Structures are given as structure tokens and as C-alpha cells.
Structure 1
Amino acid sequence: MAAVTGVYVYGIVPADVEADPAARGVGGDSTPVTVVRHGRIGALVSELNLDRALGTPDDLLGHEALLDATAAVVPVLPVRFGAVVTDRQAVIDELLAAHHDEFDSALRQLDGKAQYVVSAQYVQDTVLQDVLAEDPRIRQLQAAVRGRPEEAVHGERIALGQAVNEAIEARRQTDGRALAEAVAPLAAGVVTREATGEYEAATVAVLTGVDRERDLVRTVEKLAADREGKITIRLLGPIAPYDFVSDLRPGE
């Protein structure tokens, strides 16, 4: 029985973009990436065997790696992971023709730009020492539970944890604003993400010209030096503009 296949869609690019012959995405070495074109835009695609399950970590990494490599050289609108259509004509009918002018305009706005991510994490021991030093209530609660059986101070332990979390959240709000304000002069857009980690200080997505990468690197290096020992900061990118483009899916 012949394998059932579909066409996997990665992202939208200008029509004059040529796929790297060595590029591979979802599905591994046997699935070269090509471009389906319509008017002034195109879609990066590859053939996909639908008999296999889609959604492994390798699939997601392949999807993102292709988009990020593309964003380093040309504008790209990421399509949500897992977008599969029946054939190449469906790519045109359901995605490119239906949204041609909208996508073309968005690509023009992204021309010469890419997304970078500034990720900041608190040094755990340092931030805990700082909130303890600054908040008398936290010190009192810590003293109340020190050396006592857990069952005897259950309520105090809960209150202590809440107080520490609130103190760190207050710091997070301040540090997130400071980081966003520091990179804003270099950016066409800035998005501060919601924190997902207990000791995450801030994660800020920056849309900026790839020709300003060196300036962004210097800014982030200064931020890191000024906060050495308290916050570790790193810069990721260039990557596809995930935070600045709404989720795209065929047929919508």
C-alpha cells in the first residue's frame, strides 16, 4: 500500500526566496524543503508521510530550526507547528491566495528585521538573600519556622512561601520594565513575555534590524555586567518573529 502523504507548511516568505537544497525540516533527511509560490509570496513546505505520528520533540525542533535559519537571511512569517494540507495546490488555495495582500504587507514590514530574545534569570541564592534583607515580615516568618517541625508551622510555611513569591514578583515587574526600556531604542517592537519560571527575572522579545545586532549585543552585555551576581542575562537570536506575528494556519 502506498504511503499517505501531505504537505507540511513552515512559513511564508517573499516569492523570490529560494530554498536551501540542504535544508531539512520535519520528517528528517528524506524530506527536502521547497517553495510553493503565488503572486509576490511563497510558502516553505516539505512532503510529509502521514502514516507516522507528528509531534515528536525532533519534529518541533526541525520546524523551529528551519524558520530560525530562514529568519537570519530573509523575512518570514511563521506558520503554527503541525500545519499540514493535502497537496501543493491546497497551500495556494487555503493559505497564499486567501491572504496574499495581508502576508505580502507583513513581509515588507519585516524586511531586514528579525526577532531576538533577552532572557534574564535571578541568581537564586542572591535574590532570596535580598528579599530577606529588605522585608521584615519575611524575616519574621523565617524565624518562626526555623528549627520547628513542619506540621507545627504549616501555616507559617505557606505564608513564608507566598511572601517570598510576592517579593520576587515585585522585583520581576521592575526588572522586566528596566530591561524592556533598555532595548527599546534599538527595537521596532518589544514584547515582555509572562514569566514561566520561579526565578525568571524577565524574558523580552525584541524585533530589530539585523544590522543592529551588534548594538543589541553591546546593550545586553552592559545589562549583564551591571547585574552580575544578581541576574544572569543572555541574548538569543536571530530567530523567526514568533512574538510579533499572529498564529498562521491554513484554511483560516
Structure 2
Amino acid sequence: MAVYVYAIIAAHHPARTDDLTGVGDPPEELSTIGDSDLTAIVSPAPEGLRARRRDVMAHQNVLERLMADGPVLPLRFGTVASEPQEVQEILEERGDFYRERLQALTGCAEYLLKASFDEDFMIRQVLRESAEAQRLNEESRRTGDPNVKVRLGEIIVKELQARGESAAAEVREAMRPLAREIHENDLHGDDFVSVSFLVEETRRKDFLAAEAELAEQWGEGYDFRLHGPLPPYSFV
């Protein structure tokens, strides 16, 4: 029987999930697989599982309940093992790694910081601050030469990339001292930074205050978005 796996916890974790159900329609009952050190929270794996809202929320609810009582190694939605014995074998084979990660995550939660800039705002800034961009912009307006427009576009793209990389480095370094670990994520859309921070609960207020101050300092033209606390997917 295939099993759906939600998370791995220490065996001494309270795992207060008696009033919760898992994924599936009807919802599957939760159970555990483990030994004296590690426990996996599982349920029977329903056939044809897709990322429906009810199932995604059921997965999230299990993780949030577990996180309230101790460190958790969360698994991504849709993680399925072919049979219970496979889960038991993985716990045994990778037990040292899981125990180390649970120790590292104790008292922590993940926060995801993303930031983007308004491209029109940044282009205006480049045109104000780059003498070469100013010259090409004026020449392009005067002559309409498409080659000049291409060179101007290349300079602007290069400047935007350099400014994004510089800004990302500043953001990371400003927040790094307040986190136990950090993880850089792939960039999507207009974001110039996407970083996950593993933050100790005792430093949470300082971290949130520092992020708010950072967003205020950068001000116009920049959009900072902070998500969390989240299950620490980035640090498993």
C-alpha cells in the first residue's frame, strides 16, 4: 500500500494530530511510521492525487500543527512512498542526517524575503546617473538611429542587472546576521532577490524589525515582500 508522507519528526515530538485528517476525498486518517528516534507522519496515499486546494490545505494544516510543538522536517506536497517499509528504510538509512537537521531547526522557522524594483523607475535612474546612457538617449531622440537605440538598450539592461546584483548582495548581508542559516532561491519575474532565512524564535522580532527598516530605507521604486513563518522546506 502506497503511503503519503507529510513530515519527519523526532520520536519524542508530541505529534498532536488526533483531530486532523490528511489528503484525499474522503480525507485519509493520519498515522506514524518510525523507531525510537525518528517518526514519519503518514496516511494512505489516495489515487489520482492532484494539488487541489483542500488537499494542499490538509497538508499545510498537518505541518502547522506539528511546527507548533517542535522542529519538523516538512516534505513537499505529493511525496509518496510505495509502501510503509520504504519509509522505514529511508529513516534508517538517512537517520543521522535527519537528526542533525532536526537539531539545526530547533526553535526556528523559515522566512522568505523577495524584492523587486520598478523597471521604469530604475531606467530613469540610469538615465540620470550614466553619462553614456544620457548621451545615447539624446542621440537616439535627435537622430532616431535604430543602432543607437540598440546600444542604449544594451547599456540599460547591463546597468539594471548590475544594480540588481548589487542590491541583492546588500539585502543578504544586512539580514544575514539575524539568521541561523540562509538559502538563496532561483529568481523569477522581476525579483532581484529571493532568499530564505532560518530564524530563531528568540530573534524573530529583531528580524522583522530589520526587514521593515530595510524596506523603508530603500523606499520608492522597490517592493519588499516577506513571507513567514513558513515550514522550513529550504533547510531540510
User: What residue identity is the alignment partner of 1:129?
Assistant: R
Partner of 1:135: 130
**Is this contact kept in 1: 2:16–2:65, CA < 8 A?**
no
CA drift at 1:84: 1.2
Rate the CA distance shift 1:108–1:157 in 2: closer, same or farther, 3 A. Answer: same
Cα–Cα, structure 1 residues 90 and 160, in superposed 2: closer, same or farther, change >3 Å? same
The amino acid that maps onto 1:222 is E
Q: Superposition pairs for residues 72-91 of structure 1, below 5 Å?
A: 73-91=69-87
TM-score by structure 2 length?
A: 0.83
Provide TM-score, normalisation by structure 1.
0.78
**Kept after mapping to 2: 8 A contact 1:39/1:100:** no
Query: Could you tell me which amino acid in structure 1 is paired with residue 221 of structure 2?
Result: K
Aligned-residue RMSD, C-alpha: 2.9
Kept after mapping to 2: 8 A contact 1:11/1:79? yes
SS of 2:224's equivalent in the other structure is strand
The CA deviation at 1:92 is 1.0
Amino acid at match of 1:128: I
Alignment-derived partner of residue 248 in structure 1: none
Alignment of 1:45-124 (within 5 A): 45-50=42-47, 52=48, 54-56=49-51, 58=53, 63=59, 66-67=62-63, 70-71=66-67, 73-93=69-89, 95-124=90-119
Q: Could you list the per-position Cα deviations for residues 123-163 of structure 1 after superposition, in whole angstroms to 9, with x for gaps in the alignment?
A: 333222212222233334444555998xx73x555544433
Distance 2:233 2:71 in 1: 12
Identity %: 28
Q: Structure 1 regions of 5+ residues with no counterpart?
A: 246-252
Structure 1 residues 127 and 32: alpha-carbon distance in aligned structure 2, compared to 1, 3 A threshold? farther
Task: State the Cα distance separating 1:187 from its structure 2 match.
Answer: 1.2
Q: Which amino acid aligns with 2:191?
A: E
Q: CA deviation at 1:65?
A: 5.8
- Specify every segment of 5 or more residues in structure 2 that has no aligned partner in the other structure, as ranges: none
SS in structure 1 at match of 2:18: coil
Return closer, same or farther for 1:133/1:13 CA change in 2, 3 Å cut-off: same
Deviates more, 1:59-68 or 1:83-92: 59-68
Q: 2:70 aligns to what SS in structure 1?
A: coil
Q: Which residue of 2 aligns with 1:250?
A: none
Contact 1:220–1:234 (CA under 8 A) maintained in structure 2: no
Task: Report the counterpart of residue 41 of structure 2 in structure 1.
Answer: 44
Q: Find 2:177's aligned residue among 164, 185, 197.
A: 185
Which amino acid letter does the alignment assign opposite residue 82 of structure 1? G
Higher deviation after alignment, 215-224 or 165-174: 165-174
